Structure 1
Amino acid sequence: MNLQNGFLLSFIKYGENDAVLHCFTEEEGFQTYFVKGIYSKRNKKKALLQPLSMLSFTINPTRGNGIPSVSKFELVKSHDTYMDIKANTVIFFISDFLNQVLRHENKNPVLFYSIDEFVNELTSKNYQCHLLFLITVLKIQGVAPLVNDGKYLDPETGMFSSLPAHQLFTEDISALWKTAVSSQDLYTTKIHSSQRKDFLDSLLVYYHYHITDFKIPASLEVIQQIFE
């Protein structure tokens, strides 16, 4: 038996009563777990299956190359966002995003802490924190832009230059990138509501260039509608 603390990124019902969970754990990075009987009528633990809840898993010893199974799990830390439509939409978007981006990520305490920090910001009703969290992930992964005197960010090279390289990376959007990347306190960066859609689109373009096999999260359309 071993204990793992992790953020739940996604869960898929398997058969009638079981589930497969994808998590980012503090001790071992991205992990997939099998939970038996979670959807049975008497099992109240299914209420804990909420994206980005922090859970503590007791893992049974694995045999061969099978998926590790969970004997029990408990809630370590929840986020009080379920009645807040905007915050809940952001939670689903970021869990969807992380479920894709972290698939091959090993133990990374800085990244684990950054997810916790993001959830705290969102709980405090910082409704732009998901945009800045995407910058945080780029910085941790070592692929954030390099700041210089240029006015326009080139998303392909990750450098600022004197001439525009992409229609989304205007002078204003590039300036936002520069402010966010350079900030010591990232979440204090102000993004005007009129800029949020373009800034998010620019982030996704940048991820396309710098994160292998990156795909647009399925929940993008929902989050754009909520924040229009």
Structure 2
Amino acid sequence: MTSQNGFLLSFIKYGENDAVLHCFTEEDGFQTYFLKGIYSKKNKKKAFLLPLSKLNFSVNSGRSTGIQTVSKFEMTEISDVYTDIKANTVIFFIADFLNQVLRHENKNPLVFFAIDEFIQQLNLENYRSHLFFLIKILKIQGVAPLLGEGNFLDPETGIFTNSGTHHFFDSENSMLWKLVLSSPNPYEIKIPKNLRKNFLDSILIYYHYHVSDFRTPNSLEIIQQIFE
């Protein structure tokens, strides 16, 4: 039996009472766990199954399937973000996003710390924090744009050029990218409300170019509506 600390990215009900969990753990990166009895009537811990909730798992290695079975788990931190409709919308969006881009990620303390930091920002009601977090993940994974003298970001090459190559990457949006990439603390940057939608769209376009099989999270439309 081993102990794991991790963020819950997604969960699927299996049978009547069980569930399969996808998590990003501090010790081993992306992991899939089998959780028995979580949906039984007497089990009150089903309330812990929230996107990006920080949990501690005691797990046993599976014998036939290779999936580790959770013998017990606890929530290590209680957050208010789930009672805030804007923060809750951002949480669901980022959990959906991470569930696909971290599928093949092994142990990575920088990613784990970045998720922790992002949730802290949401607790501080920084409702633009997801924009900076998405770019932080690009930097950690080594596919972020290279800073240069140009005023237009080419999303396909990841290089700033002197002429535009994509309509979402005009000079205004490209300069936002450059500001975030060069800032030691991007979470302090103020992005005008009227620019956030296009900026988020440009980030997702960049992911389509640089992350294999990337798909736009299903919750994108909801998060765009909430912040209009």
Q: What TM-score range do you get, normalising by the shorter chain? A: over 0.9
Show the counterpart of 1:160.
160
Name the SS of the counterpart of 1:98 in structure 2.
helix
Task: Note the alpha carbon deviations across 1:4-43, whole angstroms, 9 max, x for none.
Answer: 0000000111111000000000000000000000000000
Instruction: Give the superposition deviation at 1:63.
Output: 1.4
Taking the aligned partners of 2:32 and 2:189, their CA distance within structure 1 comes to: 35
TM-score (norm 1): 0.98
Taking the aligned partners of 1:224 and 1:79, their CA distance within structure 2 comes to: 23
Task: Note the alpha carbon deviations across 1:65-92, whole angstroms, 9 max, x for none.
Answer: 4311100001111321122110000000
Show the counterpart of 1:188.
188
Structure 1, unpaired ranges of 5+: none
Instruction: Give the superposition deviation at 1:210.
Output: 0.5
Show the counterpart of 2:118.
118
Name the SS of the counterpart of 2:58 in structure 1.
strand
Show the counterpart of 1:172.
172
Show the counterpart of 1:76.
76
State the AA in 2 paired with 1:121. Q
State the AA in 1 paired with 2:158. G
Show the counterpart of 1:18.
18
Structure 2, unpaired ranges of 5+: none
Taking the aligned partners of 2:203 and 2:195, their CA distance within structure 1 comes to: 12
Taking the aligned partners of 1:181 and 1:93, their CA distance within structure 2 comes to: 22
Task: Note the alpha carbon deviations across 1:60-119, whole angstroms, 9 max, x for none.
Answer: 133144311100001111321122110000000000000010000000001100000000
Show the counterpart of 2:107.
107
Alignment of 1:202-217 (within 5 A): 202-217=202-217
Taking the aligned partners of 2:204 and 2:185, their CA distance within structure 1 comes to: 22
State the AA in 2 paired with 1:197. K
State the AA in 1 paired with 2:23. C
Name the SS of the counterpart of 1:77 in structure 2.
coil
Show the counterpart of 1:8.
8
TM-score (norm 2): 0.98
State the AA in 2 paired with 1:13. K
Percent identity of paired positions between Structure 1 and Structure 2: 65
How big is the alpha-carbon RMSD for the aligned residues of Structure 1 and Structure 2?
A: 0.7
